[in-house]
Amino acid sequence: MKKNETKTGRTKPADVRAREQMEDRAFNRMLLWLAATVVVEVVMLLVNRFYVHARVEELSALPTLHTILGIAPIAGILLCALLLYWGSRLYKREDVPQDGMLQFVLAAAFLCMGLGCWVMRNYGVAGAPMVLGLVPALGVLMLVFYLYQKEFFGCAIAGGLGILGMWLFRSAASGSTYYAYLVVSLVIIVLGAVLAGYLKKKDGVMTVKGKEFALLQSGAAYLAYYLTAVISAVILLAPLALGAAVAYYAIWVMAAWLFILAVYFTSKLM
């Protein structure tokens, strides 16, 4: 074997090295999101244990915790804004190796902790299960973002809005909270459908200020999102006419649909 052939055989092509670097970067970002999810969930578990479900001998500490939880949302929003500003400055600079992802992850973590503390302080036992379930759900959503096709990420968002809406309806069906959530969720789902239609025409590429961004790969499964959007919208509207009993079964319907999609998109990865 010639010397140049040996060297070529041992050296990876540039496109392979670039792809491996992209995969390593995505994997590291996924680990950051998972670590942040674990930290936020641990904090919420501590709040749930020592504030929401405080024992008799711990009641003397409740006023102090009540004050801290009242400050937490404000601190979380301020820290989130500062970290987003810091991260955006790093992202725009080309002379530093950092891309601001650590700052963005920390911003999301502080915002979630602040909002979680606000919910547990104001809703107590009624709001704690939602917070404790929503935090790991957001972590799973980030796993979907990095491991699966981006159209499945859109399906997960639409389906997650449907599941959360059914839980909220069963908890606050008589109030205006669900109606506000319904309007926001339907707007997000419809905007997602509009974006999917635009990307389908542009073969997954979006143009912003003359720059092209490939949001979806060629031949993306747009139908999967359209079906998920319709199912989620129907599920969100159905309990208004059929009652809270339907909301319980609708949660399992949406969960089953997302499981089917997970199997489908997993098979596409193989």
The residues, any chain, with a CB within 8 Å of residue 248's CB and separated by 6 or more, are 166, 170
Model pTM score = 0.80
Neighbouring-strand partners of residue 205: 214
Go through 225-258 and write b for each residue having 16 or more CB atoms within 10 A of its CB, e for each that does not: bbebbebbbebbebbeeeeeebbeebbebbeebb
pLDDT in tens, 132-188: 989 999 999 999 998 888 889 999 999 999 999 888 888 765 567 788 899 999 999
The pLDDT of residue 193 is 92
* CA dist list (Å): 14 to 9, 18, 19: 13, 6, 9
Tokens of 267: 């098979």
- E strand spans, the chain: 205-208, 211-214
Round the CA-based radius of gyration of the chain to a whole number and report it: 22
Beta bridge partners of 214: 205
**What span, in angstroms and rounded, lies between the C-alpha atoms of 231 and 226?**
9
Can you give the pLDDT of all 270 residues of the chain as single tens digits?
Answer: 444 444 444 555 766 666 777 777 878 888 999 999 999 999 999 999 999 988 888 788 889 999 999 999 999 999 999 999 998 888 776 655 567 888 999 999 999 999 999 999 988 888 888 899 899 999 999 999 988 888 899 999 999 999 998 888 887 655 677 888 999 999 999 999 999 988 888 888 887 777 777 788 878 888 999 999 999 999 999 888 887 788 888 889 999 999 999 999 998 877
When the pLDDT of each residue in the chain is averaged and rounded to a whole number, the result is 85
Instruction: Round to the nearest angstrom and report the end-to-end CA distance of the chain.
Output: 35
* The predicted structure's pLDDT at residue 203: 82
pLDDT at 8: 45
